[in-house]
Structure 1
């Protein structure tokens, strides 16, 4: 999981440091590809938290989502319809769902650790009182 976050940070850093511009003609394609990539990244993080992460599914899903998003944008441009908006809606919906689930998993783990810490502290205090009573 940390490898994905490291490379995401590296990619963002290189993007901000470079003087590379995308022509306006391709802005819809790139924005949708980035949205699809974020959707896949958050889906991978969610799968990691649920202990069902599969690297093959992650990589194939990454390329399939990007390809599908670009294809929808291309078909929509050829037809004169803003078909990419359907992909923006779908990927945006999934992004918010994955973020909500990841947030819940993190908070659940944090609360479990907090509860375990309290239990271990109370167990130690009980054991100390037993030793003192003897």
Structure 2
């Protein structure tokens, strides 16, 4: 529960800082930033999934978050310099994993809800 509270506080602080500070970047970097954000979202969804499976490790999350973002941006940069769209590799890899993690999160939550409903029925049957 404490981890969830920290996550919510972190998201709120990030949104407030993003809205208050007038930070802009050159459109030249839009490709690199968008691929890095996709990699970060993959890490976030993976972290949520790991938390629901009770296998979350902060070190793995942090290293994956920054490592994936740097790798994705680096692939986009190298591809841009070579004239080859390497960023497609990052889009396919991280995009596919993002949807896999989302599907797993959905299944876990639905399973937990089903188990909770069954437990509630069992307890109600015992009371009657």
Q: TM-score, normalised by structure 1?
A: 0.86
**What residue number does 1:132 align with?**
none
For residues 8 and 25 of structure 1, the distance between their equivalents in structure 2, rounded to whole angstroms, comes to 27
For residues 61 and 96 of structure 1, the distance between their equivalents in structure 2, rounded to whole angstroms, comes to 17
Matches within 5 A, 1:1-134: 1-2=3-4, 3-125=6-128
Larger radius of gyration: 1
For residues 70 and 53 of structure 2, the distance between their equivalents in structure 1, rounded to whole angstroms, comes to 26
Q: How big is each residue's C-alpha offset from its partner over 1:48-99, in whole Å with a ceiling of 9 and x where there is no partner?
A: 1111111111111111101110110111011011111110111111111100
Cα distance, 1:106 vs structure 2: 0.6
For residues 6 and 39 of structure 1, the distance between their equivalents in structure 2, rounded to whole angstroms, comes to 20
Task: In structure 2, list runs of 5 or more residues that go unmatched.
Answer: none
For residues 13 and 31 of structure 1, the distance between their equivalents in structure 2, rounded to whole angstroms, comes to 20
Q: TM-score, normalised by structure 2?
A: 0.89
Cα distance, 1:17 vs structure 2: 4.2
